[in-house]
Structure 1
Amino acid sequence: MTNKRRVGIIFGGKSAEHEVSLQSAKNIVDAIDPEKYEVTLLGIDKEGKWHINDQSHYLLNKENPKLIQLNKSNDHVAIIPGETDHQLINANGNVELDQLDVIFPIVHGTLGEDGSLQGMLRLANIPYVGTNVLGSAVCMDKDIAKRLMKDAGISVAESITVKRREKDRIHFDQVKEKLGIPFFIKPANQGSSVGVSKVNTEEEFKEGIREAFAYDHKVLLEENIEGRELECSVLGNDDPIASTPGEILPQGEFYSYETKYIDESGALLEAPANLNEEEMECMKKTAVHAFKALECEGMARVDFFMKKDGTLVLNEINTLPGFTKISMYPKLWEISGIPYSELIDRLIELAIDRYEQDAQLKSSID
């Protein structure tokens, strides 16, 4: 009889960040303590089918971020909502899988960090790492997140929201007049700089609009903030704490998808960031304030710009940050005194603690 916790790691997914998720899963598998945890790997392919994977060969080209792939298995997964145990079955042989104590969902982007996966896991009655359904959905939608942060008194970049049905009514000159040049075009519901364009000309504007609407039905046109790019990691449920801040020093035009996850030399991380004590405390306090205002739990990475006059502008909150070997979330906790394996322990404990609190809520009227 084992006393190890059974942890399911869900990774991959139908999103533009599929390959990033594979890298994150690899790092978690490599770092998780085998003396404490028994790992079950559940890989989602690009068509959305779930695979039960063996730890010895769940990835192809796993050392190459540009070529990494999910190694599909012949064993597929089905979920039985509402069960108190044996919620997962092997769909091929109709065999129940061992009950999992907790799920670590590391599916980045659409259907992974937008509340969809979190909602399914809640229906399946399985504890899961990270932010709840509401916080996940809110933070994924940059438009809604900005509105809530403004209401909470947090400074954000000026922006214009455009829905697909309105795209032919928005023109370069009117955006230029309001936001200045350059400005950014972003899908409202994507992460990791997917579909993001920096615009200086009308031609770039037209192409940027086409690119962004390829990924979402709602797009943000956002002012360019001249300033330093700073990040802070947050950890916790009811009493979250913030890490020592770090600074991103991109070597290219801006902090792109390639820079974040593929090109190890694409950006430099200065950690701790070169800030005085007052600036550092202000940033940590603002990160926690935003984390709470947007109903986050478990973990999030909070991204800022700092203007020349010291003003902090919150860029976005990522509720399922990367866990690759060049990702900032675990790196910032490392320099703050929480090594990678301990960080995984804490995230799992936070997930189980929230699940146990939820279980105490009444679900019927006496």
Structure 2
Amino acid sequence: MKTKVALVKGGYTGEAEVSFKSAAFVYSQIDKDKYDVYPITISLDSWFYEDEQGAKHEIDRQDFSLELAGNKVTFDVAFIIIHGVPGEDGRLQGYFDMIGLPYTSCTALTSALTMNKGYTKAIVQDIPELNVAKSVLLFKEHRPVSVDMVTEKLSLPIFVKPNAGGSSIGMSKVSEWSALKQALDNAYDAENTGYQVLVEEFVTGREFSQGIYRDAKGELQVLPATEVRTTREFFDYEAKYTPGLTEEITPADLNTEQKERADRLIKEIYIRLNCKGMVRIDFFIENNTDKFFFIEINTVPGQTAQSFIPQQVRASGRTETAFYGELIEAAMGE
């Protein structure tokens, strides 16, 4: 009997568009001989399964089931592919915990913590050999005085971004103080990000993104790193999703010591944050000093054919089909 997989997509933010693309790719790659896969859309309006004829079937939120042709369908595991709220911030994970449905992502606590960039940095900053950029964390109550709080503590250039956002939505690089207020407004007002803003000093260096996951045997597997080179000022939403604006080199050109150090630190970050499933960690290697600077962690990374994780899976000699199967089996075996 095949394992029934709920492929959960959509969400409550602007990242839903990316989620649908990721889910379509994951669906195309999962082994249908082993798994019955049901794409489930979660939106503010409804939770539903859309069958091949285009008919929508509402999800019963009492137990995350649906009725098809008079039969009740329940799931063995949820493959979460929602970027942002509610699939990356712990809300959906907490719901699945309450109804006893295994899922492929980090736990509710880890998801909620890592969605908050400022809190995450506080947890990882004492890891040996790991550095974090000097920063200021702003809350809704700070908004009237946020410009002064930033100018008093940080030096230009700086990055301004929603503390709980993703896909670089609402993110700005500020090189002149005159542009700071507008950048703060953009970050505060980003949809469903909690009115918190993280402002960080700019680190000059090479930017990398690297995946790690726990396989079906419980072993940590670090994927090859990707180096990101963009023609934009920084890796913003347009650079991420507009073809031709960014060069992505997988595997990255790292020397032996840099590769071993990055792999070691990424494992320690995964362990320190008590991660599950696959995550992606972004970091800089600073020019001149060669120091490793943690940027952020993404607990539901993009999964289009061009996304970092699929690139890294292929570079490691694996297939996406085998990789997604491992994530499903690991989730069910915990």
Corresponding residue for residue 139 of structure 2: 163
Corresponding residue for residue 206 of structure 1: 181
- 1:89 equivalent to 2:89? Answer no
Corresponding residue for residue 147 of structure 1: 122
1:115 deviates by 0.5
Q: Deviation string for 1:182-214 (max 9, x for gaps)?
A: 101111111111111111223321111111111
Separation of aligned partners in 2, 1:98 and 1:29: 18
- 1:233 equivalent to 2:211? Answer yes
Corresponding residue for residue 312 of structure 1: 292
**TM-score normalised over the length of structure 2:** 0.93
Count of paired positions: 327
Structure 2 residues without counterparts, runs of 5 or longer:
none
Q: Deviation string for 1:52-99 (max 9, x for gaps)?
A: 112575xxxxxxxxxxxxxxx542112225xxxxx4134xx9966322
1:286 deviates by 0.5
Q: SS state of the match for residue 170, structure 2?
A: coil
Higher relative contact order (CA 8 A, sep 6+): 2
Q: SS state of the match for residue 284, structure 2?
A: strand
Corresponding residue for residue 291 of structure 1: 270
Separation of aligned partners in 2, 1:257 and 1:350: 32
- 1:80 equivalent to 2:80? Answer no
Separation of aligned partners in 2, 1:318 and 1:279: 22
Separation of aligned partners in 2, 1:55 and 1:155: 49
Separation of aligned partners in 1, 2:172 and 2:70: 47
User: Alignment RMSD, CA only?
Assistant: 1.9
1:257 deviates by 1.6
Q: What percentage of aligned pairs have identical amino acids?
A: 31
Q: How does 1:202-351 map to 2 (within 5 A)?
A: 202-215=177-190, 216-236=194-214, 239-260=219-240, 262-308=241-287, 309-351=289-331
Q: SS state of the match for residue 170, structure 1?
A: helix
Match of 1:108 among 83, 95, 113: 83
- 1:192 equivalent to 2:176? Answer no
Match of 2:30 among 20, 25, 32: 32
- The residue type paired with residue 226 of structure 1 is T
**TM-score normalised over the length of structure 1:** 0.85
Structure 1 residues without counterparts, runs of 5 or longer:
58-72, 82-86, 355-366
Asked if the contact 1:13/1:48 (under 8 Å) is kept, the reply is: no
1:177 deviates by 5.1
Separation of aligned partners in 1, 2:8 and 2:207: 30
- The residue type paired with residue 266 of structure 2 is A
Stretches (4+) displaced over 4 A: 93-96
1:29 deviates by 0.9
